[in-house]
């Protein structure tokens, strides 16, 4: 292969570097203000013991095939049954990742003639599925119920006769704010539509029993929920909850489910234990809530910035290069903060995303914010 064949890739990477948007893999180090391990379960002795016990009782590491061939292990089915009971869903399907679950559900559930109206800040994985859907799609202003209603109204006025699909996150990953789920569910009801709620950053942390922010809507046929297992649950994978007919449709039509090797049965065993921990140890949620409240108040006091009210605290910087400089200095001083830049967030809104987890305490939070204040003052725009 000639060197020229790689030139276009090098040029693109160089362009990203000039714009402060080139992504790099970095080793883990410093005090954790970046991970989504909200309940500090990723290194939990109970999860380790559950996996050890699963190995000892003969649970295999690999599934050996897709769920529709020989990969449908008893651990998958046990997890799905227990998750359905935990989240009070009619049925649950286990996926290898939240990305795979979002891509699968949006690519097949909305039908030709339907309309997907999604929040402008919804996860990239949802966009992946929406792009593959046969339904029309529109973005609505973030958390603006009227914007969702107007989009559906215009579609109906133009002759739209299918079903609208409203797609949101319950707690937004880069802003830490909550979706108006009750009003959106009412909007879906008025238009004979569906509401898809990505609970990724609320699962295990918020709602009754740690079941997420959609608990008031549990069991309704027009609600689809997605609970990721790699954040507060400390493992990996995702649990998609919906009516039996919608889940069965995914099993029959979603290529990402049909043609993927099933997740590791050992992972399923670990997620089963993670759900038990959430149920058995409510103090974890209470402790995280206390830390989050402290961090929100300290952010206002130290940096003069309004908090999000959740465990996700964005510190807006604006300029990509400045965000990278501040993050690098904080990392060098032992605080693992990362810069989030476009296209992950809108142009001009580069930020530091502070994640509060049970891996830190109040002293570490206060020390990090004090140091961040000084670094931001030194790294002026």
Task: Read off the CATH number of the domain in which 358 is found.
Answer: 3.90.1150.10
Flag whether pLDDT at 329 surpasses 80.
yes
Q: How far apart are CA 230 and CA 176, in angstroms?
A: 18
150 and 232 co-located in one domain: yes
Spatial distance between the Cα atoms of 320 and 21, rounded to a whole number of angstroms: 7
Task: Looking at the structure, tell me whether residues 70 and 198 fall in a common domain.
Answer: yes
Catalytic annotation on 231?
yes
**Whether residue 320 lies in the annotated active site:** no
Mean pLDDT calculated for residue range 238-264: 97
Residue 157 falls in the annotated catalytic set: no
Q: Choose the final residue of a domain: 280, 299, 333.
A: 280
Q: What is the model's pLDDT at position 305?
A: 96
What is the per-residue pLDDT for 1?
64
How far, in Å, CA of 338 to CA of 353, rounded?
Answer: 7
Q: What is the mean pLDDT of the chain?
A: 96
The answer to whether residues 266 and 288 belong to one domain is no
Using CA atoms in the order 238, 175, 14, 381, what is the torsion angle rounded to 10 degrees? -160
Domain range for 347 is: 282-378
State pLDDT tens for residues 196-232. 999 999 999 999 999 999 999 999 999 999 999 999 9
Percent of the chain with pLDDT over 90: 93
Find the catalytic residue in 118, 163, 191, 201.
201
Query: 108 lies in a domain?
Result: yes
Model pLDDT, residue 26: 81
- Statement to judge: residues 185 and 301 lie in one domain: no
- Specify whether 138 is located in the same domain as 241: yes
Mean per-residue pLDDT for 278-296? 98
Q: Which of 252, 280, 308 is the last residue of a domain?
A: 280
The pLDDT score that the predictor gives to residue 86 is 98
Residue that is last in its domain, among 262, 280, 298:
280
pLDDT bucket at 27, cuts 50 / 70 / 90: confident
Active site residue 173: yes
Do residues 210 and 319 both lie within one domain? Answer: no
Euclidean distance between the first and final Cα of the chain, in Å?
A: 44
Q: Which of 123, 163, 206, 227 is catalytic?
A: 123
pLDDT for residue 234: 98
CA angle in degrees (0–180, nearest 5) for 85-217-124 = 90
123 as an active site residue: the answer is: yes
Count of structural domains, the chain: 2
Q: Is residue 38 part of a domain?
A: no
Residue 192, pLDDT > 90, answer yes
Residue 201 falls in the annotated catalytic set: yes
For position 183, what pLDDT does the model report?
A: 98
Q: pLDDT category, 105, cuts 50, 70, 90?
A: very high
Over residues 51-62, the mean pLDDT reads: 97
Q: Does the annotation mark 264 as catalytic?
A: no
* 32, 75, 80, 198: the active-site residue: 198
43 to each of 109, 252, 286, 291, how far by Cα in Å? 36, 36, 19, 19
Q: Both 249 and 308 in a single domain?
A: no
Q: Which of 37, 114, 169, 273 is catalytic?
A: 169
């Amino acid at each position: 292969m000639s060197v020229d064949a790689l030139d276009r890739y090098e040029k693109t990477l160089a362009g990203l570097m000039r714009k402060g948007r080139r992504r790099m893999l970095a080793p883990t180090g410093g005090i954790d203000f970046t991970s989504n391990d909200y309940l500090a379960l990723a290194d939990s002795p109970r999860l380790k013991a559950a996996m050890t016990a699963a190995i000892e009782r003969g649970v295999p590491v690999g599934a050996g095939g897709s769920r529709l061939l020989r990969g449908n292990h008893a651990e998958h089915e046990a997890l799905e049954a227990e998750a359905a009971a935990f989240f009070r869903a009619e049925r649950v399907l286990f996926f290898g990742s939240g990305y795979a679950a979002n891509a699968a559900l949006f690519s097949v559930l909305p039908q030709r003639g339907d309309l997907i109206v999604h929040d402008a800040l919804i996860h990239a994985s949802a966009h992946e599925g929406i792009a593959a859907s046969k339904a029309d799609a529109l973005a609505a202003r973030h958390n603006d119920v009227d914007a969702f209603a107007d989009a559906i109204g215009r579609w109906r006025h133009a002759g739209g006769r299918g079903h609208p699909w409203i797609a949101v996150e319950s707690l937004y990953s880069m802003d830490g704010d909550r979706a108006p789920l009750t009003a959106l569910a009412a909007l879906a009801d008025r238009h004979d539509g569906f509401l898809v709620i990505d609970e990724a950053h609320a699962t295990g942390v918020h709602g009754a029993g740690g079941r997420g922010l959609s608990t008031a809507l549990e069991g309704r046929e027009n609600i689809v929920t997605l609970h990721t297992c790699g954040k507060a649950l400390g493992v990996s994978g995702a649990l998609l909850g919906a009516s039996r007919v919608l889940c069965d449709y995914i099993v029959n039509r979603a290529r990402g489910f049909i043609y993927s090797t099933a997740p590791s049965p050992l992972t399923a065993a670990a997620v089963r234990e993670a759900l038990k921990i959430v149920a058995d140890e409510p103090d974890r949620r209470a402790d995280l809530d206390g830390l989050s409240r402290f961090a929100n108040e300290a952010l206002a006091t130290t940096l003069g910035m309004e908090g999000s009210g959740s465990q996700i605290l964005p510190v807006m910087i604006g300029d990509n290069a400045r965000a990278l400089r501040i993050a690098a200095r904080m990392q060098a001083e032992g605080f693992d903060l990362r810069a989030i830049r476009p296209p992950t967030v809108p142009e001009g809104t580069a930020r530091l995303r502070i994640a509060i987890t049970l891996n830190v305490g109040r002293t570490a939070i206060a020390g990090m914010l004090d140091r961040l204040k000084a670094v931001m003052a030194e790294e002026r725009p």
